[in-house]
Amino acid sequence: MPQNINTTSDLIKFIKDRDPEQTEFHQAVEEVFMSISSILDKDEEALQTALRMVEPERSIIFRVPWIDDNGKIQINRGYRVQFSSTLGPYKGGLRFTDNVNLSIVKFLGFEQTFKNALTGLPLGSGKGGSDFSPKGKSDNEVMRFCQSFMTELYRHIGPNTDVPAGDIGVGGREIGYLFGQYKRISDSFSGVLTGKGEDFGGSAIRPEATGYGVVFYLEEMLKSEDEDLKGKRVLVSGSGNVAQYTVEKLLQKGAVPVTMSDSNGYLYFENGISKEDLKSIMELKNEKRGRLKDFKSNNAKYHDGKKPWSEKAEIAAPCATQNEIEEKDAKRLKESGVKYIVEGANMPSTPEAVHFFLKNDFYFGPAKAANLGGVACSLFEMSQNSIRLQWTRNDVEEKLQQVMKNCYDRCRKAAESIGEPKNLLAGANLSAFKKVSKAMIAQGAV
């Protein structure tokens, strides 16, 4: 261990000094380790293991050349950070948005380490992507980019080595193009990507899994308080995959989701989003690649340039992107009557907002636990690929619900062990840290 690292604060300072520009990564590391600092500060071996845990096993950065529809060569940067294979093969999504950089990929990979540990399944962690955005691109341009991206990535992945999946900007279309190119180059049909179409090796409810898992986790939170979802008003942010299927499952459970948003503004439904409204929004976003301002309905009012956190509700489910809830938004949520926060996006709340939630008696469901449904279902897809069988939709949903219940129970038990039964954030971090560190120590200095 480097000299002068004797406390958690020393460790955080070392990480910030070494890579000062990686602010998103610093935020993720600080959130995890400061929440369990009472454990780390008393145990030198635990602190040493934490230092090992923040260094990815491998970081890959590569050029991605592709040709646009005008015949012009474009260049983007590709990433794959293989963070930890301690518990299993590297596993985590690919993100295609114009703000992707090494800091964001490392933060996502680090979070994935803890998230995957909380599933209780044999999964390591990784994350990747590119500063390419599919928005405004033709299908042919997206295909050419994906093929070029996979032409480099394929040499670093495999069904027992590293199994990428989708994330923001990488849906079924992109996964299909990536898988096709991998198959073409490697001359093999294998479970090297998850999120595939069911016609070529995908799992039932894989697209729905993250959003459904958010609701299953929320149900466990409510049960512990002798409440249920029926009739509860829910603020949902985002309008992509996670938000869409969070809303779908909320409707099935009798809740009343009242908002959805995108980067330009949000829609508010006074009487709740209907199944027909959701169907129209999914068509707008998934097929027409449109914006919510273009959604036409007598049931909805569009608020341009604003966030949905001022509307009255009991529950908030941020499902858009990192750091979308700032401290001022957290205060608005309290004024709006919100008591439960369940995070569908990765790290959607700033540290200041999280601190406000924990100090003001919100029941807070952290992302690394609440949104692990997607990666759990990815493991189900990997398992089905390995045995060359396909499970029914009911089979997969039952397994997913059990994973989410088990995850909640682990978080709650660990939180109770430190005398803070409702601090699911500390519980999630502590439970996952113990699992990963125990395996790391057993495997030696690797």
For residue 138, give both structure tokens: 């033709």
Task: Determine the Cα–Cα distance for residues 408 and 423; give it in Å rounded to an integer.
Answer: 11
342 pLDDT above the threshold of 60: yes
SS3 content of the chain, % helix, strand, coil (to 5): 50, 15, 35
Edge-to-edge strand order for the sheet containing 256-262?
300-304, 265-269, 256-262, 233-237, 315-318, 340-342, 363-365
2 pLDDT above the threshold of 80: no
Q: How high is the pLDDT of residue 33? A: 97
What's the predicted TM-score (pTM) here? 0.91
Q: How high is the pLDDT of residue 393? A: 97
360-372 average pLDDT score: 97
3 pLDDT above the threshold of 80: no
1 pLDDT above the threshold of 90: no
Q: How high is the pLDDT of residue 341? A: 98
116-121 average pLDDT score: 96
Active-site annotation holder among 127, 196, 368, 435: 127
Task: Determine the Cα–Cα distance for residues 219 and 239; give it in Å rounded to an integer.
Answer: 21
Task: Quick: pLDDT tens for 201-240.
Answer: 999 999 999 999 999 999 999 999 999 999 999 999 999 9
Report phi then psi at 236, rounded to 5. Answer: -115, 130
Task: Quick: pLDDT tens for 39-94.
Answer: 999 999 999 999 999 999 999 999 999 999 999 999 999 999 999 999 999 999 99
Report phi then psi at 194, rounded to 5. Answer: -115, 160
Q: How high is the pLDDT of residue 4? A: 84
382-392 average pLDDT score: 96
Task: Determine the Cα–Cα distance for residues 132 and 280; give it in Å rounded to an integer.
Answer: 27
For residue 304, give both structure tokens: 């341009």
Task: Determine the Cα–Cα distance for residues 433 and 438; give it in Å rounded to an integer.
Answer: 8
pLDDT band for position 128 (cuts 50, 70, 90): very high
Please indicate whether residue 405 is annotated as part of the active site: no
Q: How high is the pLDDT of residue 289? A: 85
- 349 bridge partner residues: 325
Task: Quick: pLDDT tens for 295-332.
Answer: 988 899 999 999 999 999 999 999 999 999 999 999 99
334 pLDDT above the threshold of 60: yes
